[in-house]
Amino acid sequence: MKLRDLSTPSLVVDAAALQHNLATMAKALPGARLRPHVKATKCTSLAKRQLALGHRGFCCATLREIEGMAAAGLGEDLLLANEVLDARRLGRLDARVTVAVDSPETVAAAASGGVREVLVDVNVGLPRCGCAPEDAGRIADLARRSGLSVRGVMGYEGHAMAVGERAKRAEACAASMATLRAAHALVGGEVISAGGTGTFDLNDVATEIQAGSYSLMDTSYAKLGLPFRPAFCVYSTVVSANASFAVCDAGLKSLGMDHGNPTIDGAKVWFCSDEHVTFSRDAASSEPLEPRVGERVRVWPAHVDPTVAYHERLHLVDGDDVVEVWPIDLRGW
């Protein structure tokens, strides 16, 4: 199959850029130093590439991801880095599953669901999940009394990920990790799980880094000057054009938009609607796009995770050749 043969919009991954990203991260964080987060790609075929590079433990965000990874033979060490109140599906799996807990209710759910191991999730500055740092020891003690093994702590400095200036990003990361280190002293255990693509080379406290977006990359992370290449785009067709602007057949239903508009090389994106991206020629570009009806364009998303979740498959390409098609088999609930 050739790239031109694909129906649009389609999710396309440059095979060479993907391999560069995987190899670069494996060199920086070898083996167990990286726990790849599959929420970014929702694809067991890609996870198997990460396993082949020595990363044997994986991080998941949903029950569906945990179940799919276990079914694919990738269940050696799975972390559900999320709170759940019904863990019965996890306790039935033939896999090692660790669950994040941050309250008596989530501890009780893990114990009653047959989960054997937990991490105490600590709020390190991002107002999402996680207990207050001073409560971490109490949650850990409760988990142990409930028959659970407490492997350590986790905390996500997500508010630091998109800080543009590296020094300020490092400062924000260090402040969060000081909080997590203090909580770990109350909890114990061998694991301090944290981090992400934006702080993968700044976080020297975590024993494992939960990075996921690095493999495909998006335009938001690309602004940070990280050593990873943009590897994926939504391949689209120009369906309408006039002297002022053109329209391609990607849109809100094929692009994650929470981090802003996508980009198109040589063009200015005006706005996105349900099934369309409206854009114009960028005269200031060194290679301004001259869109014509029927022309194919690469639309570069601003956020990996929700973009991938909109699609059913990844198309790996080498130049104009589609060399592999991978199902996005961990999407859905």
CATH superfamily of 3-11+229-327: D-serine dehydratase-like domain (2.40.37.20)
User: What residue segments make up the domains of the chain, in order of their start?
Assistant: 3-11+229-327, 15-218
Q: 3-state class of 184 per DSSP?
A: helix
pLDDT, residue 282, reads 94
Q: How confident is the model at residue 162 (pLDDT cuts 50, 70, 90)?
A: confident
Q: Are 306 and 41 in contact (CB under 8 A)?
A: no
pLDDT, residue 77, reads 98
Both tokens of 57, joined, read 């433990």
What CATH class does 15-218 carry? alpha beta
Other C-beta atoms within 10 Å of 87: how many? Answer: 23
Distance between CA 76 and CA 68 in Å, rounded? Answer: 13
Distance between CA 72 and CA 75 in Å, rounded? Answer: 8
The identity of residue 63, as a single letter, is L
- Inter-CA distances, 196 with 61, 79, 131, 159, 222, Å: 14, 15, 20, 11, 14
pLDDT, residue 184, reads 98
Distance between CA 189 and CA 98 in Å, rounded? Answer: 13
Q: Are 206 and 197 in contact (CB under 8 A)?
A: no
E strand or H helix that includes residue 224: none
Distance between CA 33 and CA 55 in Å, rounded? Answer: 8
Instruction: Report the percentage of the chain scoring pLDDT > 70.
Output: 100
Residue 121 above 90 pLDDT? yes
Max CA separation in the chain (angstroms) = 71
Query: What is the β-pairing status of strands 267-272 and 117-121?
Result: unpaired
Sequence-distant (≥ 6) Cβ neighbours of residue 264 within 8 angstroms: 248, 277, 279, 289, 297, 298, 299, 300
What is the pTM assigned to this prediction? 0.96
- State pLDDT tens for residues 196-228: 999 999 999 999 999 999 999 999 999 999 999
pLDDT, residue 110, reads 98
More confident of the two residues 118 and 290: 118
